[in-house]
Structure 1
Amino acid sequence: MATKKLYENFSKSLIDEVHKWGAMKQTGVSLRYMLDFGSVPSDRNLIIAAQFLHKELPIRIARRAIELQSLPYGLSEKPAVLKVRDWYLDSFRDLRSFPEIKDITDERDFTQMIKLIKVRHNNVVPTMALGVKQLKKGLDPKVEDEGLDEIHQFLDRFYMSRIGIRMLIDVKTCFCAFKFGSNSGQHVAVHDPNPPPNCIGYIHAKMSPMQVAKDASEDARSICLREYGSAPDINIYGDPSFAFPYVPTHLHMMVFELVKNSLRAVQERYMDSEKVPPPIRIIVADGAEDVTIKACVSDEGGGIARSGLPKIFTYLYSTANNPLYEQSNLGAVDTVTMAGYGYGLPISRLYARYFGGDLQIISMEGYGTDAYLHLSRLGDSQEPLP
């Protein structure tokens, strides 16, 4: 049983503390606040940021560890989920074992510690996906057809929380790197020892959505070429000079997922045809009043049946073969493939919603699919705290 394993691996006092901290109130921040606060790397701001994370991270991690213990249909007992749960409990213990942060030396040691926590959690998403697939494989089809709403809602909360935790760690660690330089060993979000201007961690004050869309599209197309031997062209339309504050890695991941889906659909539809596959079209529009970036990924890949549309944002649905079934090594599940994990679209929507945006899919069966990715320009919305 999962509960027995929990008490075998971790002391009762630690588990009691997890429940105590999991009951505390979380504190959300906005993209604008992260950018403004992180732009002034003074000793005082560094210490304040570390003190905030020293209290905030254990709360968020404790909440997820508690939820991982009581998931329905036996999901908590799947080997992959147990592995993720242990990562969260280990990280909670590390955070709570760290003494009060009083000076800049404490701050630097704390930053090094949370950098290691971030590395520990690198494979959380694919490992949780493996756990969900393990569950799905053994489920009664009648149970699966009921929608498993409780599991989907948990996974939304879990992944949204993970996005927030990693954002806070990345802004903090990169903030420290700007202050002390690349030799301090604190740099996480920006690997270049000479980070580009206008960047605080993952946040870019003047991000070009056109450039990010171009880079993500090229990456997706290279995957398609590798797997199919050919790939449709991709045409991108928009103002290349337009820029706004956002997180390039988030946008790259979302556009990559949408373009990857379109490429696969078009490539497979035209694989045995003598016709030239139509290009994937991406439109980046700057809304003057609605402060939203609308990225429309349109294809002619045959579309999605209307009965399948409600399922595309669930974690137990994929129209492709599942590569995770072939993976027995939990450490090897982060390989990028064209499709099959079943979490690309729901995770992408969470990334969009994290800073006040959204993702919508409109499909015409027999023709193709349009994906509308709305991104908040102002960055003033608070984190959605699950």
Structure 2
Amino acid sequence: MATKKACERFIEEVHKYGDMKQTGVSLRYMLEFGSVPSDRNMIIAAQFLHKELPIRIARRAVELDSLPFGLSNKPAVLKVRDWYLDSFRDLRSFPEIKDINDEKEFTQMIKMIKVRHNNVVPAMALGVQQLKKSLDPKLDYEDFDEVHQFLDRFYMSRIGIRMLIGQHVEVHDPNPPPNRIGYIHTKLSPTQVAKDASEDARYVCLREYGSAPEINIYGDPSFTFAYMPTHLHMMVFELVKNSLRAVQERYMDSDKVAPPIRIVVADGEEDVTIKVSDEGGGIPRSGLPKIFTYLYSTADNPINERLDDGAGADVVTMAGYGYGLPISRLYARYFGGDLQIISMEGYGTDAYLHLSRLGDSQEPLP
């Protein structure tokens, strides 16, 4: 009887926290706070996370329970919900943080939480796939508007939670690499990141198709700004991978040489913009609204049904969940940027990745 009561009390607490107001932070705040990792600052940061993380995690747990089309009951989604409830329980049962020893223990605990949530994206992708299998195939992707809006909120929130935990954990590194404050590189060269991401994408293309188009990059390698290298690499990699695939498939059986992909890095007052242009035949206008949805992929779906063993967390395939573009756009928007795709059917596609360089924009809290 007591366990049933305890269970009800726990769910009540989750709902109570799910209704609380979230507090956003900016890139600049993360930089300023992390640049002086004194004991006092670390304790203040841990106290903030101790209060903030349960609110963010509870919100998602509540939402995971009330999804349309029965998505909440799909086995993969139930698993994700349980991860969120376990993390909420861990955070709420951690005592108040009073000194640096408490802070160190708390940091170890949130590190574990971050690992627990490693497979959330493939698990949710699997849940959506389980949903698609059970529904009428004639349903149009527009009918799933509610699902798309939920997934946008859910993944944006996940980016924020991982950013806050990751930044706090990384700031503890006793020997940080030069110009690094936690996750943030204070002198990041977008041209260099574009070069590295392009090489990685070309390698995947070569592995998949046996050949890959050339990539030409235009930008000043010595120009730098403060940004997250992992986020930027992931976004550029995704855009270049899509372009390589489009060009490769268009010219595979042709005797013409595949035209190169062009990457331009522009340094503006407000934004750093990276443009990825290809001549891969473009996307029909009717298809453009679909490219930022989660239920649409032109490629075969390689989602792994085994989610317990950490498999699938970082496996990169040439075309995956159909999630690359919508999630890249969320990463761009997280720090005040955006991602736009402009296409000419019969010719090619231009992707514009805008990155806000002011660092003042607050997290967009869903």
TM value normalised by structure 1: 0.91
Are 1:369 and 2:349 matched, yes or no? yes
Note the aligned Cα RMSD (angstroms). 1.3
Are 1:68 and 2:61 matched, yes or no? no
Match in the other structure for 1:380: 360
Is the Cα–Cα contact under 8 Å of residues 22 and 66 in structure 1 kept in the other structure? yes
CA distance in structure 2 between the aligned counterparts of 1:175 and 1:262, rounded to whole angstroms: 36
Q: Provide the identity percentage.
A: 81
Deviations 1:296-350, CA, capped at 9 Å, x for gaps: 10001110011100111010111111112xx331243332111131111000000
Match in the other structure for 2:337: 357
Q: 5 Å matches for 1:230-269?
A: 230-269=211-250
TM value normalised by structure 2: 0.96
Match in the other structure for 2:275: 296
Is the Cα–Cα contact under 8 Å of residues 205 and 245 in structure 1 kept in the other structure? yes
CA distance in structure 2 between the aligned counterparts of 1:115 and 1:358, rounded to whole angstroms: 29
Displaced runs of 4+ in structure 1, greater than 6 A? none
CA distance in structure 2 between the aligned counterparts of 1:329 and 1:115, rounded to whole angstroms: 23
Are 1:273 and 2:269 matched, yes or no? no
Paired positions, count: 360
CA distance in structure 2 between the aligned counterparts of 1:197 and 1:255, rounded to whole angstroms: 23
Match in the other structure for 1:191: none
Task: Name the amino acid aligned to 1:162.
Answer: R
CA distance in structure 1 between the aligned counterparts of 2:260 and 2:106, rounded to whole angstroms: 49
Task: Name the amino acid aligned to 1:90.
Answer: D
Is the Cα–Cα contact under 8 Å of residues 141 and 296 in structure 2 kept in the other structure? no
Match in the other structure for 2:188: 207
Task: Name the amino acid aligned to 1:385.
Answer: L
Match in the other structure for 1:187: none
Task: Name the amino acid aligned to 1:330.
Answer: L
CA shift, 1:145, in A, is 4.1
Match in the other structure for 2:112: 116
CA distance in structure 2 between the aligned counterparts of 1:145 and 1:212, rounded to whole angstroms: 34
Task: Name the amino acid aligned to 1:92.
Answer: F
Q: 1:18 aligns with which of 14, 19, 25?
A: 14
Q: Which runs of 5+ in 1 are unaligned?
A: 1-6, 182-193
CA distance in structure 2 between the aligned counterparts of 1:28 and 1:14, rounded to whole angstroms: 26
CA distance in structure 2 between the aligned counterparts of 1:18 and 1:310, rounded to whole angstroms: 35
Are 1:47 and 2:43 matched, yes or no? yes
CA shift, 1:137, in A, is 2.3
CA distance in structure 2 between the aligned counterparts of 1:357 and 1:88, rounded to whole angstroms: 28
CA distance in structure 2 between the aligned counterparts of 1:302 and 1:139, rounded to whole angstroms: 32
Task: Name the amino acid aligned to 1:252.
Answer: H
CA shift, 1:134, in A, is 1.6
Is the Cα–Cα contact under 8 Å of residues 80 and 120 in structure 2 kept in the other structure? yes
CA distance in structure 1 between the aligned counterparts of 2:71 and 2:63, rounded to whole angstroms: 11
Structure 1 residues 279 and 342, CA gap change in structure 2 (3 angstroms): same
Is the Cα–Cα contact under 8 Å of residues 141 and 295 in structure 2 kept in the other structure? no
Are 1:284 and 2:265 matched, yes or no? yes
Structure 1 residues 56 and 302, CA gap change in structure 2 (3 angstroms): same
> Which SS does the other structure have where 1:215 is aligned?
helix
CA shift, 1:167, in A, is 0.8
Match in the other structure for 1:3: none
Is the Cα–Cα contact under 8 Å of residues 297 and 321 in structure 2 kept in the other structure? yes
> Which SS does the other structure have where 1:361 is aligned?
strand
Q: Which runs of 5+ in 2 are unaligned?
A: none
Deviations 1:145-164, CA, capped at 9 Å, x for gaps: 44311110000000000111
